[in-house]
Amino acid sequence: MTSHVPNEARVIPLRPRVERPEARPAAPVPPERRPPAVREPLWRDLVGDVLRRERLEQERTLKEVAEAARISMPYLSEVERGRKEASSEVLAAAAGALGLGLGDLLARAQGELVRLTSRHTGAGPARGTSGGRFDGMCLAA
């Protein structure tokens, strides 16, 4: 004879239940303290895009530019793809191999940054005007 016992499990909580008070609505966060909705692009991505675009406009190969800049072709490729944070010496060499000065390269990258960030925010400074409290470009190592 078999007895029919229901197959029920009993749950034993590991922590006692804590009754939470009713949630109060959070105070609104002022706009100046809200995090930006869209992440700004990385500087190395912007610089790499400018280098690659200039090289392709000149119809030059990665090998030609790397040899002229006296840097390895794989490293230049990594810089163009934004995978490596290149030193100012490497950037100056790559820019020089493309017929640009370091200032030209950085100004073009800064222009890209302004263009991309103003597109995401919907408003922003016109091209060539400062978007912040600095009148120019500020780079930190």
Cα distances (Å, whole numbers) of residue 95 to 44, 53, 60: 14, 12, 13
d(CA 37, CA 50): 25
| Mean pLDDT over the full length of the chain | 80
Q: Which percentage of the chain shows pLDDT scores above 70?
A: 65
CA 1 from centre of chain = 72
d(CA 80, CA 76): 6
d(CA 76, CA 57): 17
Is the pLDDT score of 16 beyond 80? no
Per the CB < 8 A criterion, the answer to whether 96 and 69 are in contact is: yes
DSSP for 89-105, please give it.
Answer: HHHHHHHHHTT--HHHH
pLDDT tens digits, one per residue of 33-62: 766 666 788 999 999 999 999 999 999 999
Q: Which percentage of the chain shows pLDDT scores above 90?
A: 52
Is the pLDDT score of 125 beyond 50? no
Is the pLDDT score of 32 beyond 90? no
pTM over 0.85: no
